[in-house]
Amino acid sequence: VRGQKDFIPDGSEEQKQKLEQALNEHWSLISEERVERLGSLVKGVWIPEEQIIELQTPAGKFWQTMGFSAKGKQYLLPEEALFLMECGNVQVFYQDLPFSIQDGYENFLSSKSITFQQYLVRHFKKVVFLFANVNIYNIECIFTSGKGILSGHRKVREIWDSRQMLVLYFCVISCQTEVESVEEEPDCKQDVIRKSEVKQRSWWSPGKTSGSCSVSGSRQWDFSSIHFPDVGSALRSRPDDVVSLAAPDPSLLPGALTVGPCDVIPWRQRINLKEVYMSPKDRQREEEANRRWMDVNRDPEVRSCKSWAEYRALLARRGDIIYCDPYVLSNHPFMYLCCSLKPLDNWRISFSVFQPDSVSSFKKSNPGRPYARMVVCSFNDPVPDLAVLKQLSSQSPEVALVFAAVDHGDISFYTFKDFHIPKDVFP
Amino acid sequence: MATEVLEKPIEDASPGKVGTRFDLEKETELRFEVEAGDGAEQVELELLSGMAEVFGSELNRNKKYTFGPGAKIAVFTWQGCSINLYGKPEVAYVSKDTPMLLYLNTHAALEQMRKQAEKENERGPRVMVVGPTDVGKSTVCRLLLSYAVRVGRRPTFVELDVGQSGVSVPGTVSALCIERPADVEEGFSVQAPLVYHFGSTTPGTNIKLYNKLTSCLAEVFSQRCEVNRKASVGGCIINTCGWVKGSGYQALVHCASAFEVDVVLVLDHERLYNELKRDLPHFVRVVLLPKSGGVVERSKECRREARDEKIREYFYGFCGVTFYPFSYEVRFSDVRIYKIGAPSIPDSCLPLGMSQDDTQLKLVPVTPGRDLTYHVLSVSSADDGEDGVRKGIVETPVCGFIVVTNVDTQAQVMKVLSPAPRPLPRHTLLIMDIRFMDMK
């Protein structure tokens, strides 16, 4: 439907009827009885003092994207529990009595966990259709909620397949857990940052390199006895590098040649040292790389690897993020810093959003670079001013910032696209 | 430091051609270039006495080697020799200043590794040669491969330079088992190479596909090493593109990882050397080598001509005399033509959440039309099965190439130039950005 949205009451009979019909449908949907098998429900106990839910039975599939474990037990955050209750995955008990959904809403949503608005947005974990016009500024969304979800999920897939619509399915996880884990152990912040820097070498991701070779073994060449004529070592003239080579063994050479010793030093002046031309983009990348300049071999773990197989295993252990982002973790302490300097009362980043195609490889402990970071606000709130925008976007470098404006059941998403201000040709 | 050494015109040469005699001292080389262009005269080379080699392949005494337009040759001697040049080379001079001794020492080190591998039943050295354009990467590869073959090894040549492939037509990546030194005039004998379709002359057009094919080649090579002891000990020498910045650099690092290289030879680029030292694990030996003063910068034109020549060579043989290609008509309905990688569209036109990468490995059907004319098509060796097979086409090697010479949209047929008579061995064709006009 084009044109203005039909939302201002005009007192007409037609509008009234439409509204009534929509409400009736809504109620009939919600009032439908939901039957869940008791056996398939995961049991949890609400601990109000700590504001968490402790799981009594092993967690289900949702564990891949939610929850955390501590002291050998599995826990859920209140908003996660509420969400799972609504999905029919979890049953929460308090003083041996089961919680109703209403109890859940009353107890689990508070200023300590997340607000109702944020929870609504978080609901997008379930199913979301987004009809993205080419103009991204104006996204209309339809949002299925309540009972329709289980069957709705399948429907989404069908629509996706049959009509190739622009359907997206978001997987939202709260970035709170990430932040908390950093907060708890302030001492290891440095460590976290260092680790994330190591991970920046995205092209090592083991998934891509399939050339594993059983013949490779774990051998390590002893290059102290194999002498290459390395002009580079002559440039540095480190003591352990051989600068001048003795005459090679004739048995190694073709045609039983005999040649004299080889002096590498004279060649060092002739190597190309001239500046390489770089485009502004290359230069920027270069500066970036230099800023977090890090020799992989300074890492003692890398140094202990003796072969490609071991090195790859190490990288795999550290997380197989394909698009890694050095800011993922290092960003959060910074974010706190930023907030403590000048707290923004109403505006904060509530969620990191990950795309559904990453679900299979998604790790809670190491979520990787989010697709977007989301700020939740009400439709009635004032439009964020430039200072707010600036501050928020500085907290989310390289990752798009999406504003979710909640208008009761409807949520609209807004984001800024990159654009360039026209430049004068003459300086 | 070019020094003119004893040049004497010779009268009794073949009629019409003036001979010039060069006497070379030990460890010097004669560099000459043959004029480019169609009307240019060929230059003949003859070894009169002593021993000499061209890029690692030894010359036979009193045999005349012919070099066509645009050839840039260096004749090196370890012991000293006398050479005759017939015809009028554009330049010809003797240089004492060559890094050949460094290259020979590099070979000696690699050979030492092969010996060790043979003794300990391990795999031989895997070497990646990197550097910017025009530093002599392919020449160093050829040299090291020829030396290795001459001491009885069976190394594998992996060609990842999609712009100037030494094995197959441009726009492909390939691997070739080397069993004899390169022919002085023609280069390596191309027998049963493994070729994958890339489709363009620069890896930048589809870096994802490029990395994918690199991984494919690495996997196949590793499989070969497992069953063939000799190939495993021989190791491989990987030639790369001259793109050493940004994604090009990342492609190099990816290649090193995929092939599990042991040695990286960086030619004349200190920055790249330092970067690789930083980004490759310590057990990889990174070596910086100088380029030879004889390396000539090739213009864009020159590169294009070299590419054209390579395609012509595929159909007509070396110097256009050995092969006789066929020309016949193919019905559109008999073939399926695909392009790898959907055309890139601006990000702003993409739906929220879609990234460009997803499209890079996609197979896009091409509707045959007039614009197909002169395009080079790879004939994929994928079975002509149903859609189930389609997925693997990107990772399937090609069995040959054809060029579309004419398209008749009315009759729904296209005329193709093919190295073999009809019918086509397979019916899945992959289109390249590269075009070839069969004019000579």
Task: Please tell me the predicted confidence (pLDDT) of residue A198.
Answer: 32
Chain A partners of B269 at a C-beta cutoff of 8 Å?
A: 272
Of B109, B271, B283, the CB nearest to A228: B109
Domain end call among B28, B63, B97: B97
User: Across A129-133, A325-329, A412-416, B426-430, which has the greatest mean pLDDT?
Assistant: B426-430
> Smallest CA–CA separation between B265 and chain A, in Å?
9
Q: How far apart are CA B331 and CA A402, in angstroms?
A: 52
Structure tokens of B212? 């994918």
Q: How far apart are CA A196 and CA B300, in angstroms?
A: 42
> Could you tell me the residue range of the domain that residue B336 belongs to?
325-348+355-435
Chain A partners of B112 at a C-beta cutoff of 8 Å?
A: 226, 249, 252
Tell whether B119 and B265 lie within a shared domain. Answer: yes
Task: Please tell me the predicted confidence (pLDDT) of residue B352.
Answer: 60
Tell whether B86 and B211 lie within a shared domain. Answer: no
Q: A59-75, pLDDT tens digit by residue?
A: 777 777 777 777 778 88
Tell whether B115 and B167 lie within a shared domain. Answer: yes
> What mean pLDDT is predicted for residues B232-257?
91
- Partner B contacted by A242 (CB < 8 A): no
Chain A partners of B116 at a C-beta cutoff of 8 Å?
A: 221
Confidence of residue A259 (pLDDT cuts 50, 70, 90): confident
Q: A299-350, pLDDT tens digit by residue?
A: 778 888 888 888 888 887 775 433 333 323 223 333 333 333 344 566 777 7
Domain end call among B51, B74, B97: B97
Structure tokens of A123? 């609901």
Tell whether B153 and B251 lie within a shared domain. Answer: yes
- B6 lies in some domain: no
Q: Answer yes or no: do B258 and A211 touch at CB < 8 A.
A: yes
Asked whether residue A414 carries a pLDDT value surpassing 60, the answer given is: yes
Confidence of residue A270 (pLDDT cuts 50, 70, 90): confident
Find, among B119, B143, A426, B118, the residue nearest to B127 by Cα.
Answer: B143
Asked whether residue A133 carries a pLDDT value surpassing 60, the answer given is: no
Asked whether residue A168 carries a pLDDT value surpassing 70, the answer given is: no
Q: B392-433, pLDDT tens digit by residue?
A: 888 889 999 999 999 999 999 999 999 999 888 888 999 999
Q: How far apart are CA B337 and CA B339, in angstroms?
A: 7
Per-residue b/e over A24-54, b at no fewer than 16 CB within 10 Å?
eeeeeeeeeeeeeeeeebbbbebeeeeebbb
- B313 lies in some domain: no
Q: A279-304, pLDDT tens digit by residue?
A: 777 777 666 666 555 677 777 788 88
Q: How far apart are CA A363 and CA A367, in angstroms?
A: 5
Domain count, chain B: 3
Chain A residue with Cα closest to B145: A254
Asked whether residue B183 carries a pLDDT value surpassing 80, the answer given is: yes
Task: Please tell me the predicted confidence (pLDDT) of residue B318.
Answer: 78
Task: Please tell me the predicted confidence (pLDDT) of residue B390.
Answer: 62
Tell whether B258 and B370 lie within a shared domain. Answer: no
> Smallest CA–CA separation between B295 and chain A, in Å?
13
Task: Please tell me the predicted confidence (pLDDT) of residue A330.
Answer: 29
Q: How far apart are CA B326 and CA B419, in angstroms?
A: 6
Chain B partners of A204 at a C-beta cutoff of 8 Å?
A: 253, 257
Asked whether residue A155 carries a pLDDT value surpassing 60, the answer given is: no
Q: Answer yes or no: do B260 and A259 touch at CB < 8 A.
A: no
What is the CATH classification number for the domain harbouring B235?
Answer: 3.40.50.300
Per-residue b/e over B322-340, b at no fewer than 16 CB within 10 Å?
eeebeeeebebeebbbbbb
Helix (H), strand (E) at residue B60 = none
- Partner B contacted by A314 (CB < 8 A): no
CA angle B233, B238, B242 (to 5 degrees): 165
Confidence of residue A392 (pLDDT cuts 50, 70, 90): confident
- B163 lies in some domain: yes
- B295 lies in some domain: no
Domain end call among B65, B97, B129: B97
Q: What percent of chain A has pLDDT above 70?
A: 52
Of B27, B260, B279, the CB nearest to A211: B260
- B262 lies in some domain: yes
What is the CATH classification number for the domain harbouring B393?
Answer: 2.40.30.330
- Partner B contacted by A134 (CB < 8 A): yes
Tell whether B239 and B200 lie within a shared domain. Answer: yes
- Amino acid letter at B309? E
What is the CATH classification number for the domain harbouring B35?
Answer: 2.60.120.1030
Tell whether B141 and B244 lie within a shared domain. Answer: yes
Q: A26-57, pLDDT tens digit by residue?
A: 888 878 777 777 777 888 888 888 788 888 88
- B307 lies in some domain: no
How many interface pairs between A and B have CB atoms less than 8 angstroms apart?
A: 196
Tell whether B382 and B339 lie within a shared domain. Answer: yes
Tell whether B384 and B417 lie within a shared domain. Answer: yes
Chain A partners of B273 at a C-beta cutoff of 8 Å?
A: 232
Q: Note which residues in 277-306 of chain A have CB less than 8 A from chain B.
A: 278, 281-282, 285, 293-297, 302-303, 305-306
Structure tokens of B398? 């090609």
- Partner B contacted by A417 (CB < 8 A): yes
- B303 lies in some domain: no
Tell whether B225 and B282 lie within a shared domain. Answer: yes
ipTM metric:
0.79
Tell whether B397 and B342 lie within a shared domain. Answer: yes
Tell whether B185 and B334 lie within a shared domain. Answer: no
- B310 lies in some domain: no
Q: Is B391 annotated as a binding residue?
A: no
- Look-up: residue for tokens 């094995």? B167
Q: B127-157, pLDDT tens digit by residue?
A: 999 999 889 999 999 999 999 999 999 999 9
